[in-house]
Structure 1
Amino acid sequence: MTYTLSTTIDLPWAEALDRTREALSAQGFGILTEIDVRSTFEAKLGAEAADAVGDYTILGACNPALASRAIAAEPEIGALLPCNVVVRRGKGAEITTIEAIDPQTMVQLSSAPAVKEVADDAANRLHKALADLSS
């Protein structure tokens, strides 16, 4: 089973991260959290661990309207929110990979029809955001 939607882009790291935020925003997603994994590894594990992971940021993307519908249908679904979007580039790499959790993963864990509707909508929006990044 594939559990992510992904694309790659040939942009400098900072620009790739900014464009990812913009593409998500255009699809109604706000960024609730932002985790700089590289910095965390460097602080907690040292420079070698940071170099090994490369540039790596996890964006916690949330579309409030979709999240509200999902939580109303099944309150436990909040454990799977927000939609994590990883922006990563290995040491020495020239391209950046963007990966988003596939919302259809929620459907496999829930039998609520409303959760499927939300997952379908979120998946469409994430596909559009990734496609915008690739164009």
Structure 2
Amino acid sequence: MSRIPSAIFASTILLLPACATTRPDPEPGYYHAETVKPYADVLAELELAITERNFRITGHNKIGSVIRAREHIAFPDYDTIQFCNLSLARRMLELEPAAVAYMPCNVSVRSERGRVHITTHLLPTDSANPRMGEFARDMNRQLREIVDFAAEP
């Protein structure tokens, strides 16, 4: 393959716009995706994805809208949603009591430069207890699926 077609191919791939993208996690222990979907749609789809997987929403902090209302200023959207499944929580705590520090599950949503960013904490998978590592990998898969569902076009 000559250099010109390779450069054109590489440039084309890099410039293709995407409605929903997953990018490298902002830091270890997190999973991040972004979309151009309306913010309210992302929140609604997060709630749907969470409840469809038998998690119960235990909290929803509407940080951005509260700051806007209290301060009477233009302020971007920021939300956090906390959720839990008591059966899974019990199983995790029986495997590793110190894992209570990772509860409840949490997803954050923010609006920035015309995109909606969705981030969740992941459970560490390097436990000395192989069953806990397996549990964490399964939970992380579910957390990624929740984020991806909300980011899908």
CA distance in 2, matches of 1:75, 1:40: 35
Greater relative CO (CA pairs within 8 A, separation 6+): 1
1:116 corresponds in structure 2 to 133
Q: Which has the larger radius of gyration?
A: 2
TM-score of the two chains, using structure 2 as the length reference: 0.69
Deviation at residue 41 of structure 1 after TM alignment: 3.9
Q: Which amino acid in the other structure matches residue 110 of structure 2?
A: R
1:62 corresponds in structure 2 to 84
State the secondary structure of the residue aligned to 2:28: coil
1:20 corresponds in structure 2 to 46
State the secondary structure of the residue aligned to 1:111: coil
Greater fraction helix: 1
Gaps of 5+ in 1: none
After superposition, the C-alpha distances for 1:34-55 in whole angstroms (9 at most, x for unaligned) are 11122454577x355x72xx11
TM-score of the two chains, using structure 1 as the length reference: 0.77
2:104 paired residue among 55, 66, 82: 82
Q: Is the 8 A contact 1:70 1:114 kept in 2?
A: no
Q: Is the 8 A contact 2:46 2:149 kept in 1?
A: no
Gaps of 5+ in 2: 1-26
2:144 corresponds in structure 1 to 127
1:101 paired residue among 113, 118, 121: 121
**Same amino acid, percent of matched pairs:** 25
Following superposition of structure 1 onto structure 2, how do residues 40-51 of structure 1 map, counting pairs within 5 Å?
40-42=66-68, 46-47=71-72, 51=75
CA distance in 2, matches of 1:123, 1:10: 24
Return closer, same or farther for 1:128/1:37 CA change in 2, 3 Å cut-off: same
How many aligned residue pairs are there?
126
Deviation at residue 70 of structure 1 after TM alignment: 0.9
- The reply to whether residue 73 of structure 1 matches residue 99 of structure 2 is no
